[in-house]
Structure 1
Amino acid sequence: MYNSETTLRAELPSSRKLMRSTILAALSAAVILVTVVQPAEYGIDPTGVGRVLRLTEMGQIKTRLAAEAAVETAGQKPAAEPSIAGITVSNPQPASPTFQTATPEATPVAAAAQPSSWRDEMSFTLKPGEGMEVKMRMKEGEKTVFAWAVEGGMVNYDTHGDSIGRSISYEKGRAVSSDDGDLIAAFTGNHGWYWRNRGEADVQLVLRTRGEYSAIKRVK
C-alpha cells in the first residue's frame, strides 16, 4: 500500500509543470485570437497573418454589415460607408462597370429560375442575425452568370472579391430579396457574396451559377 501511494505521488505533475502548461495554453490562445479570430470576425490584423490566410477581408465585411445594421436599428442614415481594404463605397448600391443587373422587374422566383442551364445550385438556411459567404475561384476577366433569391424575408449582401494584397466590393444592398446578373472578375482570386439575415425569422436562400470559374464553395 505504501509503495502504491508513493508511485501515485510521483506521477502527479509538479506545480512548476502545471504553471508552465497554463502559460503555454494562454500564449496559444492569445496567438489564435490575434492571428485568426480578430481578422476573421473584426477585420483587425496587426500581424498580417489574417490577410495571408484571407480572413481579414471577411472580417471587414462582417464589421461593415454589422455597422449598417446598427444604423438601421437606430433609424439613422450613415454619412459615408466604411471601406474594405482601402476601397470606399459611398453609394449604398453603386453602379459597377463589371456588374450588370438583369431583369429588374423579375420576381425572386423568376430571377432564380432562369436560365435553365445552371452549372451549380446551392441552398442555405440563415437564422436571424446569421451571415454566410460563398466564393468562386476566378481568373481576371472571367465571367459568371448568377441568380439568387430569398424566401421568407430579406437579407443584406455584399458582392466582393479578394486576393493576396487586393480586394474589391462590386455591389451591396440592404433588405434585398433577390439579385441576378453577370459577375466579371476584376483580378485573379476569390469572388462571390456575403449575406446576412437581419430579420426576425429564418430565411431560405438559393444561389444558382454558371460560367467561368474553377471552384465554388461556402466559406462560412
Structure 2
Amino acid sequence: MSTVPSSLPYQTSPRTLARASLAALAAGAAIVTLFVLPAEYGIDPTGIGGALGLTRMAGGEADEGADTPAVPAAAAAPIPEQNQASIAKATPLRSDEKVLTLAPHSGIEVKARMKTGDHFVFRWQSTGPVRMDMHGEPTHGPEGEFSTYWKQKDLSEAQGAFTAPFDGTHGWYWRNRGETPVTIRIKTSGFYTELFEPPAE
C-alpha cells in the first residue's frame, strides 16, 4: 500500500513565528518614531525627522512654503555705499510731464539727456496696450549703438527708478500695435538736463 504525500503547506515553528513578529513590530516602531511622528505631529525624539525636513510638514498647509524664499519681481541691483559722493548730484533737479498720442501701428520715443550717475523716477500710463522698449545711447558711441534695459509687450503702465550707466540719452520707445489711437502720459522727476522727443528717422 502506497503512502500519499502530505499536501499541507509549509509550517514554521512557533519560535520562528515569534522572531518574525518581533522583527515586524520593531520595524514598525522605528518607522513610526523616525518618520510618522515628526511628519504628522512634530515629535522628533531622535532628531532625524528635523534633519530630513519632516518636522516642517507637521504644521500643515499654514506652514507650506515657509522656508521657500519669495521670487523677486526683478533681480535687485547692488546699492552703492551711501555717502556724499554717491548722494550729491551736480545736475539740477527737474520734473516733466508729456502727453503723447500714437496712431495705429506707429511708434514714438521720449529720451532724457543724462550724465553718468544721474537719476530719475518715472511713471507712465496709456489708454491701451503698447510695446515698450527702454534703452539708452552713449553720447560719443558709434552710430546705432545702444543698450536695452527693459523690453515688454502689451503694457498699459509702468513705473520705476533709473540711474544712467553712462553719458548719453536714456528713455523709452512705445509702439501701438492696435487698430485705434493710444494716448500715453509720462511723468519724470530727477536729475537730467532735458526730456525730449528725438526726431523720427
Residue 169 of structure 1: aligned partner: 148
Deviation at 1:141, TM superposition (A): 1.2
Q: Does 1:159 align with 2:134?
A: yes
TM, length-normalised to structure 2: 0.50
The farther-off stretch of 130-139 and 165-174 is 165-174
Which structure 2 segments of 5+ residues have no match?
1-72, 79-93
Q: Identify the residue that residue 194 of structure 1 maps to in structure 2.
A: 173
Q: Which residue in the other structure is 1:136 paired with?
A: 112
Match of 1:90 in 2: none
Q: What is residue 97 of structure 1 aligned with on the other side?
A: 77
RMSD: 2.3
After the TM superposition, which residues 66-81 of structure 1 pair with which residues of structure 2 at under 5 Å, given as runs? none
Q: Distance in 1 between matches of 2:111 and 2:149?
A: 14
**CA distance in structure 1 between the partners assigned to 2:109 and 2:150 by the alignment:** 15
Q: Residue deviations 1:38-77, cap 9 Å, x none?
A: xxxxxxxxxxxxxxxxxxxxxxxxxxxxxxxxxxxxxxxx
Quote the residue 1:183 is aligned against. 162
Higher helix residue share: 1
Structure number with greater Rg is 2
Farther-moved stretch of structure 1 (201-210 vs 165-174): 165-174
User: Does the alignment pair 1:206 with 2:185?
Assistant: yes
**Contact kept? 1:95, 1:171, Cα under 8 Å:** no
For 1:123, the equivalent position in structure 2 comes to 99
**Partner Cα separation in structure 1 for residue 76 and residue 101 of structure 2:** 29
Stretches of 4+ aligned residues off by more than 3 angstroms: 93-98
1:54 aligned residue = none
Q: For residues 176 and 195 of structure 1, what CA distance do their matches in structure 2 show? A: 10
Distance in 2 (CA, whole Å) between partners of 1:199 and 1:96 is 33
**Matched length:** 109
C-alpha deviation, 1:129, in angstroms: 0.5
Name 1:150's counterpart in structure 2. 126
